[in-house]
A = this chain, B = another copy of it.
Amino acid sequence: MSEFQLHPQLAADTLHVAALPLCDVLLMNDANYPWLILVPRVPGASELLDLGESDRARLWREIDIASQALRELFAPDKLNIAALGNVVSQLHVHAIARFKNDAAWPKPVWGAQPAKPYSATEIAERVDTLRGVLA
């Protein structure tokens, strides 16, 4: 089996925040929402069902970790957790902090608004804060 490589689209849209035991945690470069993406470092995985049982259990744990970090840092009105992958089929799980006054509420975020890239200062600060909580 080949080595794990992050899909170029995910690499282009995000910043690397942390490496948990199973997943890389990425921050979507879209200041509209605090938006994390978890990518299991499992070559060829596309569906949740493609993971073995212990990796699946680990993934759920890491989704909990990411969710708790978002809750602690941003106190969102709702968390959105989703594994879609219609565009990028490499398995990845969105964990998004949603607010009743955010750019897309109550719609899902995908395709709702053009991404609003963070400024250099904002992104450095946000990645630092997330690392502090996820580490």
Quick check: which of A4-12, A59-67, A119-127 contacts chain B, the rest being far away?
A59-67
CA distance A56 to B84 in the complex (A): 20
Distance of A55 from chain B, by nearest CB (Å): 12
| A43 located at the interface, meaning its Cβ lies under 8 Å from any Cβ of chain B in the complex | no
Least Cβ–Cβ distance between A71 and chain B, in angstroms: 7
Tally of A interface residues using CB under 8 Å: 30
Q: Decide if B86 touches A98 in the complex (CB within 8 Å).
A: yes
Identify the 6 closest CB pairs spanning chains A and B, nearest first: A82-B82, A86-B106, A81-B83, A80-B84, A87-B106, A108-B110
Q: A48-B81, A82-B83 are in contact. List 11 more A-B contacts (CB 8 A).
A: A47-B67, A47-B78, A48-B64, A48-B79, A56-B64, A57-B57, A78-B84, A81-B82, A81-B84, A86-B98, A108-B111
